Structure 1
Amino acid sequence: MSDTSQNKSHVKQLSIMMFLQFFIWGAWYTSVSLFMSTQGMEKDIYWVYTAGPLGAIIAPFFIGLIADRFINTEKVLGGLFILGSASMLILPQLAGPGKSSIVNTCILLHMLCYMPTLALTASISFKHLSDGVKQFPIVRVWGTIGWIAAGLLISFLDAEKTALQFYIAGGASLLLGFFCFSLPKTPAPLKGEPIKFKDLIFWDAWSLMKKPSFAVFIISSFLICIPLAAYYAYLQNQMSAMGITNVAAAKTLGQGSEIVFMLMMPFFFRKLGVKKMIAIGVFAWAVRYALFAFGASENLTMMIYAGIFLHGICYDFFFVTGQIYVDQASHKNVRNQAQALNIFWTQGVGLFLGAIICGKFYNAAFGDKSGINPENLSLWPSFWWPLAIMAGVILVIFLLAFKHKDDPKAEINH
């Protein structure tokens, strides 16, 4: 096979991998709270949304100790997806009204298998793409398409409140697990090399915290992840109360806008720079929560859709620009550690604490009442406003304390 034909084959295989990987996540992540609410587990929803962050915290240790040293990457991926499918497929058999501990345990086991695959699929892609900078975005966008496809399917099957979503996610995970064994052979990159504990705890990257702007960025990023956890865990309950029936499909509008703004990132980056883009991203979180608060009425669904559409700005301008800033602010020798440190504090610790804190806010706002009951729509603003204000305060702190100066020669290579 010629190099060109082989490269096209790799792009196709890796695109299928990305599609299924994010299809799995999208099949349950936006609708599990509705399932739990209808099964008498509404007060414990937030524990499900701590599973992903816990997986993000543990993933670097798994990858550093096992995946990078002993087993081919494609085999590790296959094993993780198959193991992850088991807990998803068994969840409906064990779960029932009020059995939130079983649901939480099954989701946690699944995410402990799933989260390490995010870094591994990226690494296997860059290993086998002839031009990773240009081709990886093409491969990665299929992940977003997979998430959208999952949401549309769940809504089409009216599965937001049923256990069918777990069967779909588990079946896709099992399928992807076996598919991974057909991916290009990828030997463990650090096979035979000694384990360096300091690499696992991002030892060298911590020195970047001596830079005031980097420290402000990490602290602000960590803090903003606390209120943003509410979007993933609870918006769908309000949408259900407002009479929006195709909740999973409706929330894919956010992923659609993510694609649009991702394509526009190079333009905005050149025009605005890091500080303004991150600030706009944080501001967008505050605005969307205000929209959700004002839109807590059966007649104001457009405000909800507008808030969902802001996801492209909220995610791309904040998370993606943040990754670009970390790349620019760190020396090439510690760049990987710096990115891992950023993910640890944002998608790990930040979203973990955010899920718990937002869960406490939710339970305090609704008490013994249900958030999916239309009669309780008037209580939703008391949930969203404190989170919107929190985002606003973090924005002010960031604007005053972040002193980064953009490099005019910097380019986006992400």
Structure 2
Amino acid sequence: MTLRVRLSLLLFFQFAVWASWLINLGTYLLESLHFTGLQVGMIYATNAIAATVAPPLMGWLADRSYPSERLMGVLNTVGGLSLIACYFTVSFPWFYGWMLLFNLCFIPTFSLAAAMCFYHLERPAEQYPLIRVWGTVSFMLVGIALSVFQVEQSALPLLAGGFTGLLLAGYSFFLPHTPPEPGFNWTTLKGEEVHSIFRERGMIVLLIALLASCIPSSFYYSFLNPFLNEVGWPAAAAKMALGQLFEIGVVLAMPFIFRRFRFRNIIFWGLMAWGLRYFAFGIGRPGDHEWLLYAGIVVQGVAFAWIIIAAQIYVNNRVPTYLRNTAQGLISFANLGIGAFVGSWIAGEVVSANLLADGSHNWWAIWLVPGCVGVGAAAFFWLAFPRAGRL
């Protein structure tokens, strides 16, 4: 297999594991296990707790001591077994514990995989999106499968995700060898080169924007599927996969986007898409402005790819090669860490506070919160990020 195929398969399997629980877990927990909205938010918050600690730590280990492919093999083994344990668990305390262990192992693999790609690719800005797109393809196919096999309220996706994680673990040990780069030591870490990077205005504003974007994204991943099912939109998971279908086109266009637009513009419109989509969800209903539901879903490519992929490449271009894994871990920390933790907590509280007497929810009031946060984050980034320079 060529290098490009091997890395593409890595991202394909990785996103299949992620999608196996991320899309429908909220529906399963609410409808089948009868967890509260707050409990669902707490379980999704394990994602954020893990991202606050694990990616920087695992990135540091990969930069200092251990080849990335071996580290991913071990992490995916433990993560896969943890997800299988969730399949057999029905009580909140145990489910919470297993999901926390799973995310502590799985979340760092995102930054490790990105750093591995950047290590082996000669032209990351041109080549990485063409590899990363297979993660989106995988996510979309899993979403379609959830609806086709009608398992959105079942624990079967957890079992499938766990075994896929074990498959990925075995595959990881055969990935291209990615050893630590020379130059990582305590002297260089204390040097002016490293300190100046993390003091520069662009890096600080980017990290703040990533943190803010996690609040609206937490609402999307935790409660969009329950919302669509509650308002009676059939085949909700399959229709959510339209977001990944359009994301494929967006990701494939990223090399052109990087050549044509400034980094500031790309991130701004990604953040704005996160905000505006929630106003579409607040207004649209099946049979009544239904097109707004589709519109809110299909902007996923802009909302996700224009922020995350652009940020990964920007940071890769800014940091020394011996800090590549640590820096990508910082992106995961900002994207999936504190912001997502706060977002999951806020999402759970907002959904619980808007539970109506008949068991339904006041979704307009719920979607207003992430909508305002997304638009506000876009405005902050536009005003604060340096205007000069391209990615």
Residue type at the aligned position of 1:120: L
Whether 1:77 aligns to 2:72 is yes
Specify which of 62, 85, 107 is matched with residue 115 of structure 1. Answer: 107
In 1, distance between residues paired with 2:124 and 2:61?
Answer: 25
2:336 corresponds in structure 1 to 347
Give CA-to-partner distance per residue, 1:371-394, whole Å, 9 cap, x none. xx4xx4xx1001011221222233
Q: C-alpha displacement at 1:222, in angstroms?
A: 2.0
CA shift in 2, pair 1:332/1:349, >3 Å: same
Residue type at the aligned position of 1:60: P
Give CA-to-partner distance per residue, 1:317-365, whole Å, 9 cap, x none. 233333454456x464797455544442232211121111122111112
Specify which of 293, 308, 314 is matched with residue 297 of structure 2. Answer: 308
In 2, distance between residues paired with 1:356 and 1:244?
Answer: 26
Q: Which has the larger radius of gyration?
A: 1
Residue type at the aligned position of 1:141: V
CA shift in 2, pair 1:203/1:311, >3 Å: farther
Q: C-alpha displacement at 1:289, in angstroms?
A: 0.5
2:36 corresponds in structure 1 to 42
Task: Note if contact 2:118-2:124 (Cα within 8 Å) is conserved in structure 1.
Answer: yes
Whether 1:405 aligns to 2:388 is yes
2:237 corresponds in structure 1 to 248
TM-score for the superposition, normalised by structure 1: 0.82
1:93 corresponds in structure 2 to 88
Residue type at the aligned position of 1:32: L
Specify which of 344, 362, 365 is matched with residue 382 of structure 1. Answer: 365
Whether 1:150 aligns to 2:150 is no
Residue type at the aligned position of 1:177: A
Residue type at the aligned position of 1:383: I
Deviates more, 1:201-210 or 1:86-95: 201-210
CA shift in 2, pair 1:387/1:28, >3 Å: same
CA shift in 2, pair 1:124/1:277, >3 Å: closer
CA shift in 2, pair 1:152/1:197, >3 Å: farther
Task: Note if contact 1:296-1:381 (Cα within 8 Å) is conserved in structure 2.
Answer: no
Whether 1:366 aligns to 2:360 is no
Deviates more, 1:29-38 or 1:298-307: 298-307
CA shift in 2, pair 1:26/1:203, >3 Å: farther
In 1, distance between residues paired with 2:151 and 2:272?
Answer: 34
Unaligned 5+ segments in structure 1 are 1-7
SS in 1 for 2:17: helix
Q: C-alpha displacement at 1:209, in angstroms?
A: 5.6
Specify which of 19, 24, 27 is matched with residue 20 of structure 2. Answer: 27
1:4 corresponds in structure 2 to none
Deviates more, 1:39-48 or 1:241-250: 241-250
TM-score for the superposition, normalised by structure 2: 0.87
Task: Note if contact 1:202-1:338 (Cα within 8 Å) is conserved in structure 2.
Answer: no
Alignment of 1:312-327 (within 5 A): 312-326=301-315
Residue type at the aligned position of 1:139: I
Runs of 4+ in structure 1 off by over 6 angstroms are 201-204
1:5 corresponds in structure 2 to none
Residue type at the aligned position of 1:189: P
Residue type at the aligned position of 1:241: E
2:163 corresponds in structure 1 to 171
CA shift in 2, pair 1:269/1:21, >3 Å: closer
SS in 1 for 2:107: helix
Task: Note if contact 1:205-1:341 (Cα within 8 Å) is conserved in structure 2.
Answer: no
Percent identity (aligned): 28
Residue type at the aligned position of 1:227: P
In 1, distance between residues paired with 2:192 and 2:78?
Answer: 31
In 1, distance between residues paired with 2:289 and 2:78?
Answer: 43
CA shift in 2, pair 1:13/1:318, >3 Å: closer
Task: Note if contact 2:16-2:138 (Cα within 8 Å) is conserved in structure 1.
Answer: yes
Residue type at the aligned position of 1:18: L
Task: Note if contact 2:129-2:251 (Cα within 8 Å) is conserved in structure 1.
Answer: no
Q: How many pairs does the alignment contain? A: 388
Residue type at the aligned position of 1:53: A
